[in-house]
Amino acid sequence: MINSFINAAEEMLGAELGSKWKVIERIKKNPAEDSGGWFSISYIVESLDKEKKRAFLKALDYKEAFKSPNLVDKINQMTAAFIFERNVLNTCKEKRLRRIITSIDYGDFNVQNSPYPTQYLIFELADGNIRKYMKISKRLDTIWILKTIHQTAAGIQQLHLNGIAHQDIKPSNILTFNSNITKICDLGRSSVKGENCPTDMFVIPGDKTYAPPEFLYFAIPDDWNTKKYGYDLYTLGNLIVFLFSKGNVTASIFERLSSDLHFNNWTGTYDEILPYINNAFNEFLISFSNDLPSDLRVEIVELVRQLCNPDPYKRGYPKNLNSKHRQFSLEQYISKLDIMIKKVEYGFWRTNR
C-alpha cells in the first residue's frame, strides 16, 4: 500500500511553491530522526524574486503514518504535531525571539495522483549546525565557544520567558549563521506551559543522549517548571561540555557506574541511586576541569555543576533555588557568560596588541 501511492513530500524537487519559492535540492536525512512526532523530508528552496534567497524547507512525510497499524490516529497525531510546531514558531516570530530559528513561510503542496497533500514549513537557511565548525579543529576557539553558549542560553531564556521549554537542546539543534550567530532550531519537541503538547506522551521528549538522568530513571518531577525548564538547563550544561570537550555529562556518569546501576537494570528509586550518580558526576567534573582553559576553569565547572546537577530540585543558580519562579532562570548565567567573553577577548587583545 505504501508504495502504490505517490507521496507528495517526496515529489517536491523542482516544484514551485505559490509564486514565492522553488525547491532546488533534496537533503539526505537521518532515517531515525523525527521532529517531535512528525517525520519530514527536507529540501533547499530558493526565492523566485530577484534576491534568489535560499531557505530550508521541511515537509510533513505522511508515508511514515502508513507504517502504523492505526493509520487515522497516526495521521491526526502527525498533523497535530506539525501544527503545534508551526504555532510555536509563529509565537517566536511574533515575539521576535531572535535566538530562535525564524519560520519564513508555510503552506500545503500536492501533486497529481497523490492521495494526500503535504504541509511544509520554510525556515531561514543556516550555514549548518555547530558540529560543522567542530569538525574543522580539535581545539575550538574559546571565544567562539563562549559566544555559542551565550547565544544558546539567551535563546533558551527567551523561550522560557514565553512559557516554552525546548526539550531537545543538543549540538545538531544549534544552528550557526555567518559563523558567529547562533540560533536554536527544532521546536517540534517543545512544551508550552498550560497547553497540551504532542510530546507530552513521551517520558523523554528529546534525545536520550543529552537527557537528564532523572528522566532515564523514570523519576519525572511533578511540577512543570522542574520537569520542563530543569530539563532544558541540564541539556544546556551538556551542550557546554560537548563544546569544550566533545564529551557528554550523562555518558560520563554511566562510564563511572557499574552496569547493575544502569537505568536499564536498576530496580530501585532515583533517590536510592542519586548518591552514586552524584558521586560519579563529581568525579566527572574533576576530569572535565582538566580539559578547560585555565583562566576559565572555575567558572565553567561551576556553570556545568549548577546546570547539570543530577538532583533536579538543586539544579539552577544557587541563589535562585528557593524561588519557585526563578529557580531555572538563566539570567545570571547569561551575565556571567558575557563577563567571560569580555575577559577572554581582553586577554586575547593584550596578547596580540
Site for other proteins, rule CB under 8 A: 28, 30-33, 131, 134-135, 138-139, 171-172, 207-209, 216, 241-242, 244-248, 250-252, 254-255, 257-262, 264-268, 271-272, 275-276, 278-279, 282-288, 290-291, 301, 305, 314
Nearer to other proteins, 79 or 245 (CB): 245
Nearer to other proteins, 190 or 238 (CB): 238
Nearer to other proteins, 32 or 72 (CB): 32
Question: Residue 312 and residue 2: Cα distance in Å, rounded?
Answer: 44
* Minimum CB–partner distance for residue 172 and other proteins (Å): 8
Read off φ and ψ for residue 202, nearest 5 degrees: -90, 140
Which one, of 32, 26, 30, lies nearest residue 7 by Cα?
A: 26
Nearer to other proteins, 290 or 294 (CB): 290
Nearer to other proteins, 107 or 128 (CB): 128
**Cβ atoms of residues 99 and 154 within 8 Å:** yes
Read off φ and ψ for residue 70, nearest 5 degrees: -110, 80
* Minimum CB–partner distance for residue 341 and other proteins (Å): 21
Nearer to other proteins, 11 or 64 (CB): 64
* Minimum CB–partner distance for residue 148 and other proteins (Å): 13
* Minimum CB–partner distance for residue 294 and other proteins (Å): 14
**Cβ atoms of residues 56 and 124 within 8 Å:** yes
* Minimum CB–partner distance for residue 74 and other proteins (Å): 17
Which one, of 198, 241, 233, lies nearest residue 308 by Cα?
A: 233
* Minimum CB–partner distance for residue 72 and other proteins (Å): 24
**Cβ atoms of residues 50 and 79 within 8 Å:** no
Question: Residue 45 and residue 105: Cα distance in Å, rounded?
Answer: 11
**Cβ atoms of residues 164 and 91 within 8 Å:** yes
